[in-house]
Structures are given as C-alpha cells and as structure tokens.
Structure 1
Amino acid sequence: MSAIIDFLNNNGSDLLIKTWEHLYISVIAAALGVIVAVPLGILLTRFDKAASPVMAVLGMIQTIPSFAILAFFIPILGIGKIPAIIALFFYSVLPILRNTYTGVKDVNKSLLEAGRGMGMTGWERIRYVELPLSIPVIMAGIRVSTVYLIGWATLAAFIGAGGLGDFIFSGLNLYQTEFIIAGAIPVTILALIVDLILGKLEFKVTPKSMRDKEKTA
C-alpha cells in the first residue's frame, strides 16, 4: 500500500495525463467506428448478397492479433496516436456493423409498409422508423465495441501512443507491481464508467414506447 501511495505522490499528474490519452484514443476510435459502421450496416440491409462477404472480411480482421495490426501501420503511418487510433478503429467496426445490420433487418416490415403508405421517402423511413426501432441493438454493439477498445488501447503504448499501457509495460519491464496496478485499475474503472454512460445514453435515445414495453414484459 505504501508503494502505491508513493507512486501516486510521484506520478499523480502523469496518471491523469495518461488516463486522458487512453480515453482520447479509445473514444476517437469508437466514434470513427460508429461513423463508418452504422451507415454501412444500414446500406448492407439493402444489399443482402454483399452482407456475408463484408462480415466475413471484417471477421478475419478481428482474428488478427492486436500487436500485428499495430505493427502493420508503423511503416505506413509511423508511431504515435494516429496509427493506434486507426488500428483500434478496425477492431471497433465489426460489433457495431453486425448489430446495426441485425437491428435494422429485424424491424417489423409492416411498419415500413405503413411508412411507405404515408408517403415517406427511403431516408425518412430510415430516420423515423428503422433507426429509432433498432437503436437499442445498435447501442449494444457500440457499448461492447467501446469497452473492448478501452482494454485494447493499453497496447497502444507499444507504438508510442501513450495511455495507461505505458504504466503497465513499465511495470512489467521494471518488475514493479505498483506501475502495473496504476495502469490496470484505471483501465477497468474507465471501461465501467464508459459502459454506464453509454447505457444511460441508450435509455435516453430508445423510444419511450419501447421502454414502456420492456418494463411491462
């Protein structure tokens, strides 16, 4: 305990900086994943034949070890935060894409027909029918992806991107447990906090009729 207290006294400011770096890398990568995966997931519902190949390719990327992905971008983009964010972005896409595709495909077809009958355009059906009804499934994918990214972002320290992984790698190299704890515990806390925030956001954006239905189920 005294070693941890001494560590905090000597490295408290660095801990705050690295926590911010870790959160920044994770959130930017997750945001890029949402920007790409949600529209792509909706698009794939219109082209079913393309869905399986796209999912298969992304699934293959998911199986590549994180270190390999990070190392792959070093000759192209060098070291630092940008290659780390891009590498994590690739890992963020599949869960969000799969949930978006599944959520939109499962929307009741009679509701879509009703939208057409009311004169809604394709974009209006997406905005006012498909997205609101599929948002709980989409948000579940975003939550899973973001929590995973916070854990994987520790590896960003391997290519000089900073973050809490710096403490973990230093602790492993120096055989100092307090460094490992100072990196691992904040990562866990960050993941829990972000998951809680996204859970609250999911509740807010879920249509009230769906929330009421879940309560009575």
Structure 2
Amino acid sequence: MTIHNLSKTNSILNHFLHQIRDEDIQKDRMKFRRNIERIGEVLSYEMSKSLDFETRDFKTSLSPATFDEVSENIVICSILRAGIPLHNGVLNYFDEADSAFVSAFRKESSASEVDFEIVVEYLSTPSLEGKTLVLVDPMLATGLSMLNVLKALEKIGQPKSIHIMSVIGAQPGVSLIKNYLPASAHLWIGEIDGELNEKGYIIPGLGDAGDLAYGKKL
C-alpha cells in the first residue's frame, strides 16, 4: 500500500487540520463538519491525480474541443456515523460516483472500555466488481474498524483498485491496514500521529469525531 501523508507538504490542509484539533474551535459543530468536508475535498483532489483519464470531445459555443475525464467507476463507502462529513467532501468532487454505507462500532467488553471488538451491523452498497473503491473514515486509530469493513466488502465483488481516505491516523492502525491490503492500494491521509492511548484513541488526535460532528451518543 502506498501511503500519501499530505501533512508532509505545507498547504491549506494543515490549517483545516489545526481547526478540527483545537478544542476551542472544534466546539462549533458546523465548522467541525465543514472542515472535515473540506479535508475530504483536498484529499479527493490529490487522489484524482492517480486515477485513469480518457480524452473526450465536446463543443464550446465557438468550436469543438477536448477534455480529459476520469474513466473509473468510483464507489465511495463511508463508515457511519463519523464518516458522513468526509463522504460529502469526496462526493463534492466525484459527484457522479456511487455511494455505499456501512456501520462499524466498538462493542465494549468491559467497563473500562479498554477491551472491545468491532461489530459490522449494516451494509448498503452497489456491486464493487471492477470498480474503484474509496473507503472513507475520518479516524484510522487501531485500524480494526477499517479491517472488518474491508472483510465485509469482500463479499460484494472484487474492486479494480482500493483507496483508503482518512483525516487523521495512528501509526499502529496504518501499519495494520498496510499489512492487509495489496501493494497497489493507496492511503490518502491528512496526518499520521504516533500512538494510541490505553483506550485505543489517537494521541494527540482530536477526540471522538462522531460526537464532535453530531453530538454525544448513549
């Protein structure tokens, strides 16, 4: 798997990353969601450079002309619920793509929340056979949610290519996904932090992306 860590190059993306991490700024839910969406747009633009294009003809008001159009059939799959703002950002750029949705949540096995399993409960997707799968989840922490979702999607068809898209990841989760996916896969990510805490949350990370976007859950 090729890893594209966009924070390694200075760009406006780093401004958006700061705003979603800053505990004062992130209290504005609308701004938090919009920044996640904008990060999805930046990641999509960078990912588009790796896709296949096909030259097509069209007419302007003055003369015939040509343009290069993405020739891949894209399916954007987001992990609910935190993945929705990122999904919207990707869909803003690949507006003719199909969409898929999957729920994956932590099922705690102890009161300490240290021991947990990832449960995939809901899946709505078109066929992935021969498609370009873009799997989006803002936080790539332990990598277990992403791994279980990838395994669930294997029943839906064999994609032509796989792109993982995340806002912030931790090195353990990135390593887990890299070891699972083929060398031809790509990870497009805003920034990679070094570690996880005892509960499996990214440090420094930003907290619970789903709660910050939509409010705390029971």
Per the normalisation by structure 2, the TM-score is: 0.30
Q: Which has the higher contact order (CA 8 A, sep 6+)?
A: 1
Per the normalisation by structure 1, the TM-score is: 0.30
- Larger relative strand fraction: 2
Larger CA Rg, structure 1 vs 2: 1
- Larger relative helix fraction: 1
